[in-house]
């Protein structure tokens, strides 16, 4: 996975509501990677006397990045100082400009404008986006995960589905390349027969691969398998 470079520039605010290609079974297994804006040394969060919390922040943001979830790190003034490419994509999908810290701060303010939200210092808040133009749902987690004065806002777009790392799947369950490709498609919400058509395979072949997936992952139904794949997506 590509590590995150960060940008800085600033202006933050508030808007919110609380609470295919042809199948190649022998193709290389790669996990989507994200490119990030670069960071200037003067733009970094306080790394000096808050190193343990800084490591905690990087652990949380790294996990969010692995599962394809956007995140914004806000400073004491609630201005964006760090973000990942998934956050940019998510906000751009809402029709916002999101290529600088200032633009991201404004986009976040517009996104949560109609829902009172308080991003407390050290906190992690989840902004769940249901569809464009609809008010998001905001969920808060207790506990300190970020350096003093900063907070993390995770952007979860329900239309953006990210699957587990294919190499992790293969190592955990001993899957073949074909079974791994199938698992990734299922994790994205595709139906077996739709997959068979797009890959120009017979229903029998897909059903045989699916049965093997059930056996190797010790699941019995497709919904159970997809839930398992969702949990595994947090792993590196």
CATH number at residue 209: 1.10.10.10
- Same domain for 191 and 152, yes or no, is no
Query: pLDDT averaged over the chain?
Result: 77
Residue 7, in any domain of the structure: no
**Which of the listed residues 93, 127, 157 is the one where a domain comes to its end?**
157
Residue 179, in any domain of the structure: yes
Burial per residue of 33-53, b for 16 or more beta-carbon CB atoms within 10 angstroms, e otherwise: ebebbebeeebebeeeebeeb
- Same domain for 64 and 146, yes or no, is yes
In total, how many domains does the chain have? 2
Residue 217, in any domain of the structure: yes
Residue found by looking up tokens 């249901």 in the block: 130
- Does 175 have pLDDT greater than 90? yes
Mark out the alpha helices in 67-199 (DSSP H runs): 85-93, 101-111, 166-173, 177-187, 192-199
- Same domain for 122 and 205, yes or no, is no
- Same domain for 37 and 139, yes or no, is yes
**Lowest model confidence (mean pLDDT) among 86-90, 141-145, 209-213:** 141-145
**Which of the listed residues 131, 157, 183 is the one where a domain comes to its end?**
157
Q: State pTM to two decimals.
A: 0.57
* pLDDT (0 to 100) of residue 33: 41
> How far apart are alpha carbons 168 and 136 in whole angstroms?
32
Q: How is residue 74 annotated by DSSP?
A: E
Q: Which of 152, 183, 192 is nearest to 59 (CA)?
A: 152
Residue 11, in any domain of the structure: no
- Does 2 have pLDDT greater than 60? no
The sheet that has 137-141: what strands, in order across it?
17-18, 137-141, 124-129, 151-157, 70-74, 80-83
- Same domain for 97 and 79, yes or no, is yes
Residue 215, in any domain of the structure: yes
Positive or negative torsion for Cα 119, 124, 125, 131: positive
Q: Which of 111, 109, 140 is nearest to 124 (CA)?
A: 140
- Same domain for 153 and 174, yes or no, is no
- Does 173 have pLDDT greater than 90? yes
pLDDT bin (cut points 50, 70, 90) of residue 114 is: confident
3-state secondary structure of 118: coil
> How far apart are alpha carbons 206 and 220 in whole angstroms?
16
Structural domain containing residue 68: 17-157
Residue 3, in any domain of the structure: no
- Does 207 have pLDDT greater than 90? yes
* pLDDT (0 to 100) of residue 223: 92
* pLDDT (0 to 100) of residue 210: 95
**Lowest model confidence (mean pLDDT) among 49-53, 140-144, 188-192:** 49-53
């Amino acid at each position: 996975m590509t590590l995150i470079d960060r940008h800085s520039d600033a202006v933050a605010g508030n808007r919110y509501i609380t609470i295919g290609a042809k199948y190649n079974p022998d193709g290389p297994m790669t996990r989507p990677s994200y490119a990030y804006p670069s960071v200037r040394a003067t733009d970094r969060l306080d790394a000096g006397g808050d190193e343990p919390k800084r490591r905690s922040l990087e652990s949380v943001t790294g996990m969010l990045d692995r599962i394809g979830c956007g995140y914004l790190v806000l400073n004491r003034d609630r201005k964006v100082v760090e973000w990942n490419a998934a956050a940019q994509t998510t906000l751009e999908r809402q029709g916002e400009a999101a290529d600088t810290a200032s633009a991201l701060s404004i986009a976040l303010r517009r996104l949560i404008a109609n829902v009172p939200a308080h991003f407390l210092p050290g906190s992690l808040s989840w902004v769940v986006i249901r569809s464009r133009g609809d008010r998001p749902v905001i969920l808060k987690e207790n506990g300190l995960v970020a350096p003093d004065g900063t907070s993390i806002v995770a952007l979860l777009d329900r239309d953006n589905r990210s699957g587990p790392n294919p190499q992790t799947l293969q190592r955990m369950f001993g899957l073949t390349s074909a079974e791994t490709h199938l698992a990734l498609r299922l994790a994205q919400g595709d139906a077996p027969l739709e997959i068979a058509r797009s890959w120009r395979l017979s229903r029998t072949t897909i059903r045989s691969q699916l049965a093997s997936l059930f056996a190797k992952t010790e699941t019995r139904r497709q919904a159970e398998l997809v839930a398992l794949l969702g949990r595994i997506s947090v792993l590196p």
